[in-house]
Amino acid sequence: MDDVKDKVIAILNDLTGEDFSDNLDENLYDSALLDSMGTVQLLLELQDELGISAPVSEFDRNEWDTPAKIIAKVEEMKQ
């Protein structure tokens, strides 16, 4: 599912200006690359680009705090 990985990395790059290709374990919140507004934007982009539905109300930051976790969650949701 490299397609998912590439799209998630591209979305994160757009939102943060950072390239996570080589750093999938970067904690996006600890490093202040994502905040609550960024999170909403991320979920909207994932919904538009990848067709997954991740309501903010069910969002658990600990499950989405690194690019690797985001990729895993999206792949899980697409099945």
pLDDT at 15: 95
Residue 1 — very low, low, confident or very high, per pLDDT cuts 50/70/90?
A: low
Question: Does pTM surpass 0.95?
Answer: no
The C-alpha atoms of residue 79 and residue 20 are separated, in whole angstroms, by 24
The C-alpha atoms of residue 49 and residue 35 are separated, in whole angstroms, by 20
pLDDT digit string, tens, across residues 43-60: 999 999 999 988 888 889
Q: How far apart are the first and last CA of the chain?
A: 11
∠ Cα 24 15 71 (to 5°): 35
CATH of domain 2-78: 1.10.1200.10
How high does pLDDT run on average in the chain?
Answer: 93
The C-alpha atoms of residue 11 and residue 41 are separated, in whole angstroms, by 9
